A and B are shown apart, each in its own frame.
Chain A
Amino acid sequence: NAGVTQTPKFQVLKTGQSMTLQCAQDMNHNSMYWYRQDPGMGLRLIYYSASEGTTDKGEVPNGYNVSRLNKREFSLRLESAAPSQTSVYFCASSGLAGANSYEQYFGPGTRLTVT
């Protein structure tokens, strides 16, 4: 099993450009997540999908959109990139590990620079 995969690994964008970050998981997990990680700020949740067909905002959703394409795939779109979106983006997935507990499995990350 590949676990959680993300593409691309690195990306440089100019301000105003758009792009989509792709994420896929092969663990048959119901829930998927997008985080950004910045120095000194830790991991912050952008959007999540508790199950196929649903998406919800996390802590920092502004400037992003998501699509839960099917159970396996969850994409993150930046419509008009800004320098403040320079970050490392992680996708994660989780399944029900026990009563009300959700351990998450992370992808390798996408390093995005917006100039």
Chain B
Amino acid sequence: SQKIEQNSEALNIQEGKTATLTCNYTNYSPAYLQWYRQDPGRGPVFLLLIRENEKEKRKERLKVTFDTTLKQSLFHITASQPADSATYLCALEGSGYSTLTFGKGTMLLVSP
């Protein structure tokens, strides 16, 4: 069955550094992969989408890579700020039309 793995341990980094989060998947050949941000007590917010034929996508301080051979996506936040502290979820197309399957998320903590 489809499986998505994100590091369950929180990632602690200092302000100004680059944060790198990992999303691995198995038994999947997704056409695209998405990343979401979730703050405590709130719903997830869409950040970026990358398609299978794209190696890299950027949006401001965010960069996503998608390696379909390794079955892995990396999510980078450059020049991280305390306001970037949140849980980040990756999601791949699900088995149903228009659906997504989400990973469990990785918490990022950026200290001043």
- Identify the stretch in A14-22, A37-45, A72-80 within 8 Å (CB) of chain B at 4 or more residues: A37-45
Is A42 a contact partner of B99 (Cβ separation < 8 A)? no
Q: In the bound complex, what is the Cα–Cα distance between A95 and B46 (angstroms)?
A: 13
Q: In the bound complex, what is the Cα–Cα distance between A100 and B99 (angstroms)?
A: 10
Q: In the bound complex, what is the Cα–Cα distance between A50 and B101 (angstroms)?
A: 15
The main secondary structure of chain B at its interface with chain A is: loop
Q: A41-B104, A100-B32 are in contact. Are A50 and B43 (CB under 8 A)?
A: no
- Identify the stretch in B20-28, B57-65, B77-85, B90-98 within 8 Å (CB) of chain A at 4 or more residues: B90-98
A55 vs chain B, min Cβ distance (A): 11
The main secondary structure of chain A at its interface with chain B is: strand
Residues of B within 8 Å of A102, CB to CB, are 93, 98-100
Is A42 a contact partner of B104 (Cβ separation < 8 A)? yes
Number of A-B contacts (CB under 8 A): 63
Residues of A within 8 Å of B102, CB to CB, are 42-43
Residues of A within 8 Å of B73, CB to CB, are none
Q: How large is the interface on B (under 10, 10 to 19, 20 to 34, 35 or more residues)?
A: 20 to 34
Q: In the bound complex, what is the Cα–Cα distance between A41 and B89 (angstroms)?
A: 12
Q: In the bound complex, what is the Cα–Cα distance between A107 and B41 (angstroms)?
A: 11
Is A33 a contact partner of B46 (Cβ separation < 8 A)? no
Q: In the bound complex, what is the Cα–Cα distance between A41 and B98 (angstroms)?
A: 21
**Is A101 part of the binding interface, using a Cβ–Cβ cutoff of 8 Å?**
yes
- Residue B49 contacts which of A45, A50, A56, A97 (CB distance < 8 angstroms)? A97
**Is A94 part of the binding interface, using a Cβ–Cβ cutoff of 8 Å?**
yes
- Residue B45 contacts which of A33, A101, A106 (CB distance < 8 angstroms)? A106
Closest 6 CB pairs of A and B: A106-B43, A42-B104, A43-B102, A31-B98, A103-B46, A102-B98
A–B pairs, 8, beta carbons within 8 Å: A48-B99, A50-B98, A58-B99, A98-B49, A100-B93, A102-B93, A106-B43, A106-B44
